[in-house]
Chains A and B, each alone.
Chain A
Amino acid sequence: MKKDKKGQLASQNLLAWSLLLPSFIILGIFVFYPMVKTFILSMQLTDLMGNPIKFIGFKNFLNLFNSDSFGTSFTVTLIFVFFSTTLTLIMSYLMAVLASQKMKGIALFRTMFSSTMGVSVTVASILWLFMFNPQIGLFSKILTLLHLPQINFLSDQTWSLIAIIGTTVWMNLGFSFLILLGAIQAIPQDLYQVADLDGASWWMRLRKITIPSTSATIFFVTVVTLINAFQTFGQVDILTSGGPDYHTNLLVYAIYQDAFVNHSVGRASAQSVILTIIIMIFTMLQFYVKNKKGAKNAN
């Protein structure tokens, strides 16, 4: 693989480009082109088939910001993202700490804890659909048992969002758990041995060793969970269909509804642009932190 000969360099160029070409064609057609197209559509008035009629600048965006339904959508999306991310992180971290101890049979528990990673959004939603069922569901049974009034989880404005958050957190736990467990297991044991010599409590060890040593991974899991949360669709589609009164109408579900049910492609595209910008910001934040960390490690 010498590069001092022009011919060899040229053949390397050719080989490299032929290896990259298939990926490029796919990315070009299904990622780059749609992105540009979405930006264009977001500034167009469109007909029912989604064909652009005329350029209207930022009018789609202005209409969005003035619409109550988008206001509700956007607000509940932010609430949803905040709570589902926070809860996923806290719960999966505690599970990871619990499963990081060494004992007989721990591998089985680790597998169990990570199992929701394999559960699809459909399966998760249907399992929880039953949990929330007002007649025969588990929660209804528990409420009866405690002599509490019944709750219509999926048709109450507040509870329906909580139900979606609960289902999402449950689904997310497996992946976050697995990644966090890996980070915790990578902490050098001698740090804990020193802490033991100092007689540090469980809480002190967690606060002074475990959490600081895994901060990079915590950050990573947070951003990934956050980005996924913004892209939530299936849970809403199966559990609440965005209702009641848009109170679970998360951004991607709103895009889907506007594009494929209401046939207002311009509006859907404007929302897609907003989603893209949000995700870009968080991804770039992640790249930035990763590079800063990388640069620091290199020194």
Chain B
Amino acid sequence: MSIELQHLKKTYENGEEVLTDINTTIENGQFYILVGASGSGKSTILNAIAGFIPIDEGAVIINGKDVTQLPPKDRNLSMVFQNYALMPNLTVSENIVFGLAARHTDKDIQQKKLREVLNLVHLEEYKNKKPGNLSGGQRQRVSLARALVSDAQIILMDEPLSNLDAKLRAEMRKEIRSLQQQLGITVIYVTHDQTEAMTMGDQVMLLNEGKIEQIGSPLDLYNVPANTFVADFFGSPAINLVDVSIKNDILELNNTFKIPFNFENVQGKFKLGARPENIVIKNSGQLKGKVTHIEPLGDGTNLEVDIGLVEPFRIKVSEQIHLMIGDSVNFDILPDKVLLFTLEGNLIKIGQSELTVV
């Protein structure tokens, strides 16, 4: 079950563009993530795939068949919603077979499938309870089971975990991912949460104001971000992005720091991106500043160091260090992990090697 989106376009009546030319292919069995801030168009794409909203231009192809004009029921997919969408008057079991009952599936088959999915999502003992008596996590499991029971090979998930607390979210992330792999289904998953995007997806589409910023595997997006928006979106603390100029293998930062950097054939003004974990603190470090903020994490430490730029430098080290606010620190940027962007924000170089494809 592959899905192809071809040149999807959607404009609101007030002229606001929600989607501008969305193209992608979602392979069979893929966990495909649509991520972006609210208003980025990610839910609109999901709604267009489901058929809830008409699109102005383009086509949705499911398994080679153009379904753009088909109503949702004929697209052979199921959905998990943010607010669970459970009927409060029905029991867990009745909710799960809601769709099967509506399609008049044979009662015995309903019961057999019900038992299977109850087992899958570990809800056997709750099957006769009403949703009102369940926790948020259990309710989302019911919603998941209802999507699984339908035999649809594509499941759309619309921010299914955003109503859960942090601990439960982490658990459910694992559970959904392993269910998906176990059953080999295709999942299209909408989220605004970068952790979910990084940890769950095979493929991630990052959206911004109705446009695709980048599509790729989570690590690709992290390691080879197409532009500063992508670089800034993933990673916590966020990447350091600073204006630099490079001349004769000397990188100049803020007119104060001049560091020898061996970029072949590169001259001019750029944006330099350095991930907080690609910075090392050492006494011989060529950059120097004062600690303005410190977060001991136990397994490491997050620091913010003011070196006279607009924003302080974010640094992440994997050991506990004993510094106080106001202390002076010297540090270095690891040259082979550095990202170099044009002033418009497009990636041109990674570390000290030439970037061939952008």
- Chain B CB within 8 A of A147 CB: no
Please measure, in the bound complex, the distance between the C-alpha atom of A227 and the C-alpha atom of B128, giving whole angstroms: 49
Q: Which 8 A-B pairs have the closest CB atoms?
A: A4-B54, A2-B71, A2-B54, A2-B51, A3-B54, A5-B69, A4-B69, A2-B52
6 A/B residue pairs, CB under 8 Å, sorted by A: A2-B51, A2-B52, A2-B54, A2-B72, A4-B54, A4-B69
**Distance of A3 Cα from B53 Cα, bound (Å):** 8
Name the residue on B nearest A8 (C-beta).
B71
Write out the residue numbers on chain A whose beta carbons fall within 8 Å of the beta carbon of B69.
4-5
CA distance A3 to B54 in the complex (A): 7
Interface of B is mostly: loop
Count contacts on A: residues with CB < 8 A to the other chain.
Answer: 4
Give every chain A residue within 8 A of B71 (Cβ-Cβ): 2
Looking across the interface, which residue of chain B has its beta carbon closest to that of A5?
B69
Complex CA–CA separation, A2 to B50 (angstroms): 11
A90 to B356, CA, bound (A): 81
- Could you count the A-B residue pairs with CB atoms below 8 Å apart for me: how many are there? 10
Q: How distant is B74 from chain A, measured CB to nearest CB, in Å?
A: 11
- Please give 8 more A-B residue pairs, beta carbons under 8 A apart, in addition to A3-B54, A4-B54: A2-B51, A2-B52, A2-B53, A2-B54, A2-B71, A2-B72, A4-B69, A5-B69
Question: What does the 1/0 interface line of A1-12 toward B look like (CB < 8 Å)?
Answer: 011110000000
Residues of B at under 8 Å CB distance from A? 51-54, 69, 71-72
Q: Please provide the chain A residues from 3 to 48 with a CB less than 8 Å away from any CB of chain B in the complex.
A: 3-5
Q: Which residues of A contact B (CB under 8 A)?
A: 2-5
Interfacial chain A residues near B53, Cβ < 8 Å: 2
State in angstroms the CA–CA spacing of A3 and B55 once bound together: 11
Residues of B within 8 A of A4 (CB): 54, 69
Q: Which A-chain residue is minimally distant from B70 (CB atoms)?
A: A2
Chain B proximity of A236: nearest CB distance (Å) = 47
B70 to chain A, nearest CB (A): 9
How far apart sit A53 and B72, CA to CA, in the bound complex (Å)? 64
A4 to B47, CA, bound (A): 14
What residues of chain B lie closer than 8 Å to A3, measured between beta carbons?
A: 54
Report the minimum CB–CB distance from A67 to chain B (whole Å): 57
CA distance A174 to B77 in the complex (A): 53
Report the bound CA distance from A4 to B70 in whole Å. 10
The CA of A5 and the CA of B53, in the complex, are separated in Å by 12
Q: How far is the CB of A12 from chain B (nearest CB, A)?
A: 13
Rounded to whole angstroms, the CA-CA distance of A3 and B71 in the bound complex is 10
Q: Which chain B residues border A5 with CB–CB below 8 Å?
A: 69
Q: How far is the CB of A1 from chain B (nearest CB, A)?
A: 8
Q: How far is the CA of A4 from the CA of B54 in the complex (A)?
A: 6
A4 to B53, CA, bound (A): 8
Within the complex, the shortest CB–CB distance from B206 to chain A, in Å, comes to 28
A5 to B70, CA, bound (A): 10
Beta-carbon nearest neighbor of A4 in chain B: B54
**A residues near B51, Cβ cutoff 8 Å:** 2
Measured in the bound complex, the distance between the Cα atoms of B54 and A2 in whole Å is 7
- Residues of A close to B54: CB separation below 8 A: 2-4
Chain B residues whose CB sits within 8 angstroms of the CB of A2 once the complex forms: 51-54, 71-72
Least Cβ distance of A4 to chain B in Å?
A: 3
* Closest chain B CB from A238 CB (angstroms): 45
Shortest B350–chain A CB gap in Å is 45
Least CB distance from A234 to B in Å reads: 40
- Chain A residues whose C-beta falls within 8 Å of the C-beta of B52 in the assembled complex: 2
Shortest CB-to-CB span from B341 to chain A, Å, is 39
- Minimum C-beta distance from B215 to chain A (A): 27
In the bound assembly, the distance between CA atoms of A66 and B71 in angstroms comes to 68
**Closest CB of chain A to B8's CB: distance in Å?**
14
Complex Cα distance A2/B70, Å? 9
Min CB distance A139 to B, Å, is: 52
Output the residue of A2, A3, A5 with the most chain B CB within 10 A.
Answer: A2
Distance of B102 from chain A, by nearest CB (Å)? 15
Chain A residue with Cβ nearest B71: A2
- Docked Cα-Cα span, A5 to B52, in Å, equals 13
Assembly CA distance A2 to B52 (angstroms): 7
Residues of A close to B72: CB separation below 8 A: 2
Q: Complex Cα distance A2/B72, Å?
A: 9
Q: What is the distance, in angstroms, from A14's C-beta to the closest C-beta of chain B? A: 18
How far apart sit A295 and B174, CA to CA, in the bound complex (Å)?
44
Q: What's the minimum C-beta distance from A242 to chain B, rounded to whole angstroms? A: 52
B73 to chain A, nearest CB (A): 11
Task: Report the bound CA distance from A3 to B69 in whole Å.
Answer: 11
Minimum Cβ distance to chain A for residue B44 (Å): 15
Separation of A4 and B69 alpha carbons in the complex (Å)? 8
CA distance A3 to B51 in the complex (A): 11
State A27–B27 Cα separation when bound (angstroms). 57
CB distance from B85 to the nearest CB of A (A): 15
* Whole-angstrom CA separation of A4 from B56 in the bound complex: 9
CA separation between A2 and B71, bound complex, in Å? Answer: 7
Chain A min CB distance to B277 (Å): 43
Minimal beta-carbon separation of A2 from chain B (angstroms): 6
> CA A90 – CA B53 in complex, angstroms?
52
Cα separation A4 to B52 with both chains bound (whole Å) = 11
* Shortest Cβ gap from A3 to chain B (Å): 7
User: For the complex, what is the distance from the CA of A134 to the CA of B69, rounded to whole Å?
Assistant: 80
For B55, the closest partner residue in chain A by CB is A4
When chains A and B are docked, how far (Å) is the Cα of A5 from the Cα of B69?
A: 8
* A3-B72 Cα distance, complex, nearest whole Å: 12
Bound-state Cα–Cα, A5 to B71, Å: 10
Q: Which residue of A lies closest to B52 (CB)?
A: A2
CB distance from B59 to the nearest CB of A (A): 13
Interface centre among A3, A4, A5 (most CB of B within 10 A): A4
Q: How far is the CA of A188 from the CA of B311 in the complex (A)?
A: 41
Q: Determine the distance from Cα of A4 to Cα of B57 in the docked complex, in whole angstroms.
A: 12
Query: What is the CA–CA distance of A284 and B52 in the complex, to the nearest angstrom?
Result: 38
Residue of A nearest to B51 (CB): A2
Residue on A with the closest CB to B56? A4
